Amino acid sequence: MSIPDFKNLSFERKMKTIKNEIFKPKPRGNTSWMKWVAFGAGIAAMAFGIMALITAFFAWSYFIWPAMIFSAAAIVFAILYKNGNGTDPKARLGLIFGIIGGGLAVIALIIWAIWIGLALGAVL
């Protein structure tokens, strides 16, 4: 669309044209690796989240922090991939798995805090 065409458009049409230009995916070289990183980090976050949830009932779980880190990586890389290339099933699954893994880690942290609170309450 050339500039004279843009000047003759109505305000709503101008806004729609600008919005379409700003928010359309912008291809940025070879970024297909990002969907695989998001997918792998999402699976790792969910695995560590499940292990953190299981072990939180017994003692402090060292699986909580890796689950949160992998969760953050999965979410970041899925969003970066989506902004650059549009959506992809692997990146979307990585995002979903990352959110679930992070949620499981937070639940494990809460369970552990309750467990310690009950143990300290029984001791004091």
C-beta atoms surrounding 50 within 10 Å: 17
DSSP for residue 82: H
- Rounded to whole angstroms, the Cα distance separating 52 from 67 reads 8
User: What's the distance, CA 57 to chain centroid?
Assistant: 26
Q: DSSP assignment, residue 25?
A: -
Selection from 32, 48, 40 nearest residue 94 by Cα: 40
- What's the chain's Rg over C-alpha atoms? 22
Whole-structure pTM value:
0.72
**Distance of alpha carbon 57 from alpha carbon 109, whole angstroms:** 10
pLDDT digits (tens, 9 = 90+) for 49-101: 999 999 988 888 899 999 999 999 999 999 988 877 777 889 999 999 999 99
What is the C-alpha separation between 25 and 41, in angstroms, rounded?
23
Counting beta carbons within 10 angstroms of the beta carbon of residue 27, is it exposed (0 to 12), middle (13 to 18) or buried (19 or more)?
exposed
The count of residues in the chain is 124
Report pLDDT digits (tens) over 103-115.
Answer: 999 999 999 989 8
Residue with tokens 């919005």: 19
